[in-house]
Amino acid sequence: MPTYRYLALSPDGRRQRDVLQAESERQARQLLHERGLFPRRLALVRDAGAPGRPGRGRLDPTSLALLTRQLATLVEAGIPLSDALDALTRQAERQRERALLLAVGNRVREGHSLADSLRPHSSFDLLYRSLVAAGERAGRLALVLERLADHLERVQAQRQKARTALVYPLVLAGVSLAVVSGLMTWVVPRLAQQFERSDMALPWLTRLMIGLSQLTLSLGPWLLALLLLGLPLALRVLRRPAPRARLDALLLRLPRLGELIRLLDTGRLTRTLAILTRSGIALLEALRVSRDTLGNHGMREAVALIEQRVESGVSLHRAMQESGRFSPSLLHMVASGEASGTLDSMLERIADAQESTFNRRVDMALALFEPLMILVMGAVVLTVVLAILLPIMQLNSSVAL
């Protein structure tokens, strides 16, 4: 059933914005009149979060995790799925969330499974839909939704921690850049004019600083324009598969950064595989879904190779070893899990270890970055101050003589 977004006036003149479902625009207006509302604007909207409308109705990660948790609670309580979706629709505060839940609930009432009802909406990725489908097939939808909510909350907590950890270094770097730019474009040029009038021989450090200041003033606007124009172009180029693959391969070869990327994607891979296999999804299907959660193209190619080898009958740990992307300790734990029949539990332990190592190394890098930035900033400011003070001290010495 189509969904309409409306703006209407209540009998006391207050504006109301919301969404409703109706067979046609005429029926939508009739429903509004029955509610005592006077429609001012009525527009047909596509399914919220549909691929054709990116970002318009897509749920943010926090809302998606909360919605999944609430749906799991309602299903666990024995409430029919359509009624649970109706209850979530009524309590949703934002229009885009209500529109999405209305569309999903309507397809469920038409007889579609929940996984099929989620398919048209970009808010629910392949991992989400695959887990829901597995839960429906096994009759354990509430349990799978609980695990999925745990996973979404864990991912969101990691993202929030990363953003919080980066705030101070980015602010410090921005302030440092602003201070240096102010010194080079405002303070140094004015002092240079004063020194030129005195017709005195300037120290080499002062001459160097004046030259850098003049270079900044002449090339700065062009460099800024190049940055503003080149950055969007570079981002557009990197969206193409071939340039992105070359960049990802280069990043993996970098000494420290490449190791962090492998840790991050390995944690994602093993965590997703653990959730999928524990939910009853076959290993090949779990590998296909897990591959799409990885950020690095080289790691995705490695998982694609693992899929091919597993499909040909090779064990998982042997296929991972042939890819050359995983550490010996990880391969040993995977082999142990396959031999003991506890692969899902072992994969979860690997994911915990990988994420812990990644977080520890990122925290260490950020802890070193902050004092390093302060030292660099202090050295730059000290150099500028010395370049300014040296001729002043030289002038004072000559006057004293």
How do residues 200-233 score in pLDDT, each as one tens digit?
777 888 888 888 888 888 887 888 888 888 888 8
pLDDT at 54 > cutoff 50 = no
φ, ψ (nearest 5 deg) of residue 20: -150, 165
174 or 45, which is more confident?
Answer: 174
Phi, psi of 364 (to 5 degrees): -65, -40
Q: In the prediction, which pLDDT does 162 show? A: 74
Q: How far is CA 65 from CA 70, 131, 161, in A?
A: 9, 14, 17
Q: Which amino acid is at 200?
A: M
| Percent of all residues in the chain with a pLDDT value above 70, rounded to a whole number | 92
Instruction: Pick the more confident residue, 331 or 393.
Output: 331
Predicted pLDDT at 57: 53
Average pLDDT value over all residues in the chain: 83
Q: Tell whether the model's pLDDT for residue 52 goes beyond 70.
A: no
Res. 50: pLDDT tops 50: no
pTM: predicted TM-score of the whole model, two decimal places: 0.73
Q: Inform me whether the pLDDT recorded for 175 exceeds 60.
A: yes
Q: Is a pLDDT exceeding 60 seen at residue 55?
A: no
Confidence of residue 49 (pLDDT cuts 50, 70, 90): very low
**Distance between CA atoms of residues 311 and 84, nearest Å:** 39
Range from 94-98, 167-171, 232-236 that averages highest in pLDDT: 232-236
pLDDT at residue 29 greater than cutoff 70? yes
Q: What Rg do the C-alpha atoms of the chain give, in angstroms?
A: 30
Cα–Cα distance for residue pair 92/373, rounded to 1 Å: 45
Q: Which residue has the tokens 């102010």?
A: 182
Half-sphere exposure (CA, 13 Å, Cβ side) for 223? 6
Q: Is the pLDDT of residue 338 over 70?
A: yes
- When pLDDT is averaged across residues 231-242 and rounded to a whole number, the result is 86
Average pLDDT over residues 232-243: 86
pLDDT value at residue 118: 92
- Determine the average pLDDT of the residues in 29-35: 78
Average pLDDT over residues 122-150: 89
Q: Are 179 and 381 in contact (CB under 8 A)?
A: yes
